[in-house]
Structure 1
Amino acid sequence: MTDDAPVSRRPLWRRITGSFLFQLCAAFVVFGLILSFVAKPYWVPSGSMEQTLQVGDRVLVNRLAFAGGATPHTGDIVVFDADEAWDGGARTPSNPLTAALRWIGEVTGFGPSGPHTLIKRVIAGPGQTVRCCSADGRLIVDGTPLDEPYVFQDFSFQPGTLDCTTTPVSPRCLPEVTVPKDSYLVMGDHRSNSSDGAAQCRGRTDPDPGCWRWAHSAEIVGKAVVILWPVNRWSGL
């Protein structure tokens, strides 16, 4: 005996949500939300953070590290969008191919991560005073010399021969400055090869607020927490 009962069809919403195209779009949306609000990869473009980070390293940036009132601290490695004070500031590529490659790099971390996105180490935050140098050539924050074992190839400093009292002055020397509100002084670990927040002030002892460059709170993307690639360099930061 033949069963001629009609076959029930799945509801429309189930057919839509069960389709490959819908699931692919949903995956892109979730991926985009993660990149926008949780974490994203970043491609290290220069040697300014050697030896901590090498050119071409891919690091994971925690975008939630400074959520809920949390702020960067001395020693944190942060990624931030630089303003016009940093060698021309943010630039939008005019070439469509370059713009597309930058977009892919920003999404995947395998390529340039933004028009002018930098990665540096936080030295001091709002209201803190910074100067250089102590008698043994160290940065001084709020009167206390910093212990910076991560610094690579610093500028020359020889007490009594090339320091902040001699002529010429050591390029390691910096005039005292108080970090402005909602700003951070950031430097590269490869001090002698880093166009960082103090680069234009080096070798000076006279106060000049105009020579400093800042990473502003609103422009900080997040905190670099781990090296993702290459595999042989997997490590926390």
Structure 2
Amino acid sequence: MAEENKGGIVETIKTVFWALVIAGVFRTFLFQPFWIPSGSMKDTLLIGDFLFVNKMAYGYSYASCPSLPFMGVDAKDLCGWADGDNTRLLGSEPKRGDVVVFRHPVHGSDFIKRLVGLPGDRIQMKGGLLHINGTAVKVQRDGSFEETAAPQGPQQLRPRCHNAPVGEGATCVKEKYIETLPGGVSHSILNISSQGSDNTPVYTVPAGHYFFMGDNRDNSSDSRVPNISGGVGFVPYENLIGRADRVMFSSAGRSMLFFWTWRGDRFFKAID
């Protein structure tokens, strides 16, 4: 009996070990889970959306290694040996308009934004309108985006509203537009107010780097602010983790376990 128990324990350990190996391979080389923590990509992505990032889309670099923040382990701790040359194994170029998860160039946190500027592009915001290589992109009014003025998600973030001030539980409104980028990708963007990030200098994207912006334009920390000043700045090619293609699951509550807060209309929703 003792030998049988010992054999059962050994088999259990083997099963757990191989399960962890398979999960590690899946997460490192194929898809990485990502939970949307903020409203910077509304209304394309909402707080509480859960998705898998396609790591095969752009090939592999040090950023493809998983980070384990609960253990204090970053991707550079595991794969730092592959960092520094701004290249990728089996690399493919991202396309303008892709929604991309990437490592912040300074502190290594995972960010998700839309790629609007390719290497060599001149990017500028003028009067809240995106200009690429001296030409304003096409935008068309598309009504409004409405949500409840209340704390959202695990961090209990409160939305900013175009119709502010808004009382607790009232309707928070943002202006909504459809923006069409060069190449034909169309997507939703939101406007809240006139602010400093609506007018910027001209940014020339360096070779091997990309320029990212959030779709919720007035509530996004992105490439419009240099990373040395707390923003994102230009993002190196090797920092790209993968492309976000589809929302798999979505919860409007503080936890995914609160089933009464699940957004059934967002399950398996394609990301435009």
Shift of the alpha carbon at 1:80?
0.9
Query: What corresponds to 2:246 in structure 1?
Result: 226
Identity %: 31
Query: What corresponds to 2:36 in structure 1?
Result: 44
Shift of the alpha carbon at 1:118?
0.8
Letter in 2 for 1:53: L
Query: What corresponds to 1:129 in structure 2?
Result: 122
- Contact preservation (8 Å) 1:155, 1:172: no
Q: Deviations over 1:165-189 (max 9, x none)?
A: xxxxx74122212101221110111
Matched, 1:183 2:209: yes
Q: Deviations over 1:137-186 (max 9, x none)?
A: 531213443242411125439xxxxxxxxxxxx74122212101221110
Distance 1:190 1:226 in 2: 18
Compute the TM-score of the two structures, normalised by the length of structure 2: 0.56
Shift of the alpha carbon at 1:212?
7.2
Distance 1:117 1:69 in 2: 20
Distance 2:29 2:131 in 1: 35
Query: What corresponds to 2:48 in structure 1?
Result: 56
Match 2:19 to one of 7, 27, 46: 27
Distance 2:192 2:208 in 1: 28
Query: What corresponds to 2:257 in structure 1?
Result: none
Distance 2:192 2:136 in 1: 15
Residues 47 and 29 of structure 1: CA distance in aligned 2, closer, same or farther (over 3 Å): same
- Aligned ranges 1:90-105 → 2 under 5 Å: 90=108
Shift of the alpha carbon at 1:83?
2.4
Residues 48 and 34 of structure 1: CA distance in aligned 2, closer, same or farther (over 3 Å): same
- Aligned ranges 1:1-237 → 2 under 5 Å: 19-67=11-59, 68-84=90-106, 89-90=107-108, 116-133=109-126, 138-147=129-138, 148=179, 149-153=187-191, 155-156=193-194, 171-199=197-225, 213-230=233-250, 232=264, 233-234=266-267, 235-237=269-271
Distance 2:191 2:57 in 1: 29
Q: Deviations over 1:105-146 (max 9, x none)?
A: xxxxxxxxxxx211111111111111233xx85312134432
Letter in 1 for 2:129: R
| RMSD of Structure 2 on Structure 1 (CA) | 2.8
Letter in 2 for 1:46: S
- Contact preservation (8 Å) 2:124, 2:132: yes
Q: Deviations over 1:198-231 (max 9, x none)?
A: 046xxxxxxxxxx871221111111111111126
Shift of the alpha carbon at 1:47?
0.7
Letter in 2 for 1:152: L
- Contact preservation (8 Å) 1:50, 1:152: yes
- Contact preservation (8 Å) 1:154, 1:172: no
**Which protein is richer in strand relative to its size?**
2
Compute the TM-score of the two structures, normalised by the length of structure 1: 0.64
